[in-house]
Structure 1
């Protein structure tokens, strides 16, 4: 089912987009290592991690960040005709994530900055683990078109 197209003025502060949860499996660690080229053993060698006092492989910060990709949820489908660009993102990593942890990500509208023909929609991004601990917080900003004038 395709959602109704939305424009900048159709969003409201506090609107929330929950993304699918994901358990950080060994396969996801391997896929991230392959895609990123990261070769530090803390991200792929269980015994190395254990010898350094960790319970298992430690997820790279970017591996956590990608859990907030808006494309995993409804947002990009809502703005297919209005999206002009992904402007920026920032993130802070607050607690470690290890193999086996399940992550829950969400995006919440926290900025609506109108321009003449466009507007910026800011989304606060959060990732919690299975224990409810906030492991990452950040922001994403998108440039959207305003609703076209009716002819």
Structure 2
């Protein structure tokens, strides 16, 4: 699927494939971002904070949402830019072993200088439980 502005239907929804979060994912995100807070590196510290063990960074979850959404190939030929993420809420901790997927709905669209701006409601899901809830705005091409 490759959507241009004209193809976007408000209310249309999509679901991605799944990804199982691993300890290596968390370690790699620590390394890439230089965020080695003990919540993400020390099981004992995380347990004292009330978690069952180390947790993934909320920003890892947000990044994973974009990656999983990209696997839908919605904008392979039409994407111009991400205009930003809004209303981001980290509702539940992400743990190694969690299997997650993304559910997304188009909530709005408008033309802008010969291009299209689309708004997506995006949720990172662990089964039926919402882990992260956010809104994303994308700038995409119109057809020819």
Q: TM-score scaled by structure 1?
A: 0.83
Q: After TM superposition, which residue ranges in structure 1, 4 or more long, deviate above 4 angstroms?
A: none
Which residue of structure 2 aligns with residue 72 of structure 1?
71
Which residue of structure 2 aligns with residue 13 of structure 1?
10
Would you say the 8 A contact 1:121–1:143 is kept in 2?
Answer: yes
Which residue of structure 2 aligns with residue 128 of structure 1?
125
Computed over aligned residues only, the root mean square deviation of the Cα atoms, in angstroms, reads 1.7
1:24 to 21, 25, 30: 21
Structure 2 regions of 5+ residues with no counterpart?
none
**Deviation string, structure 1 residues 30-82 (Cα, Å, up to 9, x no partner):** 111111111111102122222333211112110111121132322232xx1x3
**Deviation string, structure 1 residues 80-103 (Cα, Å, up to 9, x no partner):** 1x3222111121111222222221
Matches within 5 A, 1:50-69: 50-69=47-66
Structure 1 regions of 5+ residues with no counterpart?
none
Which residue of structure 1 aligns with residue 80 of structure 2?
84
Shift of the alpha carbon at 1:116? 4.9
Name which of structure 1's ranges 36-45 and 89-98 shifts more when overlaid on structure 2: 89-98
- How many correspondences in the alignment? 141
Larger radius of gyration: 1
Which residue of structure 2 aligns with residue 141 of structure 1?
137
Which residue of structure 2 aligns with residue 45 of structure 1?
42
Shift of the alpha carbon at 1:104? 1.7
SS of equivalent residue, structure 1 residue 55: coil
SS of equivalent residue, structure 1 residue 84: strand
1:107 to 98, 104, 107: 104
